[in-house]
Structure 1
Amino acid sequence: MHERRTVFRGRRAAGFGAAALALALALTACSSDGGSEASAGGSGGSAAAPSAATDPTPPPTPTVDPATYRHALSGALGPLDSALRAVDRAGEGGALNRALDTAAARADAAADALQTTRAPDDATAGNSQLASALRALGQDLKSARGDGGRCATSPRVELGTAQSPKSVQEAGRSLTALGYDAALRLPRTEQAKHRRLANGTLIRDGSRGGLGRLTIRNGTGTDAVVTLTRGTRTAFSVYVRQGSDTTIRSVNSGSYTVYFTTGEDWNSARSSFTRGCSFEKFDDKANFRTVRVTGGTQYTVLTFTLNKVIGGNATTSRVPPGEFPS
């Protein structure tokens, strides 16, 4: 191997000593043919060794403190729990409707709060489930609100058929089992009732002293209450079960408007059915006369069939619930 060395002798030029020494070292090379070796990076150059790139590992996301989540959960559910207890205590009517309005608003507020609350990893799914269930509960509380009118199902019956209270209970139990108290006191509910009166029961009965006779046949498929009025006064109301008929005797002479309502579950306190109600009246008046004739007394006998029949000649019209006589 031949070695070629360049040496600078003599007086060192000011400012170039270090550069000359560096150049001398750079020109020292080994070559089989006396030439200097070219670096892989090009003639006379040197290539820098590639450095291994390392991706920085992101720091772990801090987990939510369970105690912090419990505090947020309590703050969201506390006002709602108080409102639901008020629904449980409220009586039917305006007091219950006001309690339902308040509870619905607080259910929505609780759902909003939980949707923006960060939960620990083990509670994330349960927190989301509870928020959705509370949103649905708010809607059901609004829908259950009674209008206080005819054919009004009790809000407690409506809530008894809703799915959201069950969903709230399931989500609450899931979180409570993990150590996050999500218990709520849901208001009591009631099962749908099927109250009926005996066929022919007189619900209202004014003074009757004539000889007129009225027979009512109910083929509508539901129970009915038939009411006869003279002017603005109710003469009598009678309960007629489905598939049955009844006869009212001693009807006084006069011209009567014949109303009838059909449905399920007779609420005597409201004098109305609570489900599937209809309100109608016959377009023609029922005219009764009791008169003395030679050899005796002549009186009117009428039959009203509530369902449509072939050959029937009586037409009916719908009546707004508020105009139906009580």
Structure 2
Amino acid sequence: MLGTALVAAGCSSEPEGGKPLPSTTLSAPTDQPTTDEAPTPTPTPQPTPKETSLTAVGYKKALANVEMNLTRGVQRVMNAPTMAAFDQARAELAGSIARQRQELAKINGPQSLGSGHTKVLGAFDAYPDHVTTNLAASGETKTGCGLPKAGAVRLYQAKTGIRTSVVQLTQAVNKSVGKGTNFGLRMTPPALKPPPQMTGRGTNGQIIQRAGSRGAGTLQIKNNGSADVVVVVATSVPRQPQVSIYVRHGSDATLRGVRGSYWVFFKSGTAWDGVSRQFTEDCSFSKYDDRFDGKFDWTITLSPVIGGNASTSDVDPF
């Protein structure tokens, strides 16, 4: 009994003074850190929902909505009163077309359409390049004859360029979708009427200029060519004429009161500007090589004729 008590005292965990010692728990080392949290379960893959294709009717409704959203922008372009207003409206329309293309890209065309939906998107993608091509003429500040281009002409050419681009877009969409599609019917504006500067013509037989005294000579003119012509009678240079007369193609006119010996110059073209007394497009400038004797009456035919005896040469613009 005494020995047992001593063993128990020696194994006691209480130090002197009666206070208990801190206990220590030892764990066996492991390869992985331990945690009290439950393991995160691996998520089960969910099937991706299949995108539904529109029906043919639904697709046409989507195109009709696109057209409705673009129509007002086209109208703003066509109603622009100045080139500055046109440029602003044109930029807004380009942005609208790009946004509508993005909206169309979010939908699936009907299966029966095949690759048609992709071609529709391609038609919208081609619009900017068409605009660049179709606005080239309006960006030029000179006419084909080198004269300053009227603002009304530039604006007409610019609006016509946008209209052409819209027509190209709508035609490409309709071709991609197939028969029964009328995309663009409301969006396409009517063709514009050219301004007077582009369609101007003088009156047949109209005297354009006259200077100095009159003589007794007569010059009969037959214009059998395809263009209107201004015939200039000048003692020396065409910019200082005795008299000049407008002769429409397919018409005749007689110039009276010619004096002395003279040269005959003629210029032809289209888009006659009565203010500057010049053709503004498709110009050509020529003269007869031989001088005319004012003692006689002459007849000239402004087109190549069999048996003709008068040669001509090109000259500088006048």
TM band (smaller chain) = 0.5 to 0.7
Matched, 1:58 2:55: no
TM-score (norm 1): 0.51
Identify the residue that residue 259 of structure 2 maps to in structure 1.
Answer: 252
Query: In structure 2, how many angstroms separate the alpha carbons of the residues matched to 1:81 and 1:201?
Result: 45
Q: Do structure 1's residue 303 and structure 2's residue 291 form an aligned pair? A: no
Cα shift at 1:300 = 4.0
Give the root-mean-square deviation of aligned CA atoms.
5.1
Superposed counterparts of 1:1-326, under 5 Å: 57-60=47-50, 81=73, 85=76, 88-90=79-81, 96=83, 118-121=105-108, 128=121, 131-132=124-125, 134-135=127-128, 137-139=130-132, 141-145=134-138, 147-149=141-143, 154-155=153-154, 156=156, 159=160, 163-168=164-169, 189-190=192-193, 196-229=201-234, 230-231=236-237, 232-253=239-260, 255-256=262-263, 258-263=265-270, 266-269=272-275, 271-273=277-279, 277-282=282-287, 284=289, 286-289=291-294, 299-309=295-305, 310-317=307-314, 319=316, 323-324=317-318
**C-alpha separation between the residues in 2 aligned to 1:303 and 1:110?**
62
Letter aligned with residue 210 of structure 2: D
Distance in 2 of aligned mates of 1:161 and 1:225: 35
Cross-structure match for 2:16:
none
Q: Is the 8 A contact 1:213 1:250 kept in 2?
A: yes
How far 1:279 moved relative to its partner?
A: 0.9
* 8 Å Cα contact 1:107-1:134 kept in structure 2: no
Give the partner amino acid of 1:121: N
Distance 1:203 1:258, change over 3 A: same
For the 8 Å contact 1:224–1:262, the answer to whether it is kept is: yes
Could you tell me how far apart the structure 2 residues matched to 1:212 and 1:202 are?
16
* Partners of 1:272 and 1:304 in 2: CA distance: 22
CA distance in 2, matches of 1:185, 1:157: 16
Q: 1:313 to 1:126 in 2, by over 3 A?
A: closer
| CA 188–59 in structure 1, closer or farther in 2 if over 3 Å, else same | same
Which segments of 5 or more consecutive residues in structure 1 lack a partner in the other structure? 1-54, 64-68, 175-182, 290-298
- Asked whether the equivalents of residues 221 and 254 of structure 2 are also in contact (C-alpha less than 8 Å), the reply is yes
Q: Which amino acid aligns with 2:124?
A: A
Residue pair 1:150, 1:272 contacting (<8 A) in 2 also: no
In structure 2, distance between residues paired with 1:281 and 1:270? 19
Structure 1's 283 and 241: CA in aligned 2 closer, same or farther, altered over 3 A? Answer: closer
* Distance in 1 of aligned mates of 2:86 and 2:244: 35
Deviations 1:160-196 (A, max 9, x none): 8964333456769x9xxxxxxxx86969722698654
- Where in structure 2 are there 5+ consecutive unaligned residues? 1-44, 54-61, 111-116, 178-185
Is the strand fraction higher in 1 or 2?
Answer: 1
Contact 2:242 2:258 in 1 (8 A): no
Q: Tell me, in whole angstroms, the C-alpha distance in 2 between the residues paired with 1:304 and 1:247.
A: 10
Amino acid at match of 1:223: D
How far apart, CA to CA, are the structure 1 residues paired with 2:200 and 2:258? 28
In structure 1, how many angstroms separate the alpha carbons of the residues matched to 2:220 and 2:107?
72
Contact kept, 8 Å, 1:160 with 1:190, in 2: the verdict is: no
Which residue identity is paired with 1:58? T
Cα offset, 1:317, TM superposition: 1.1
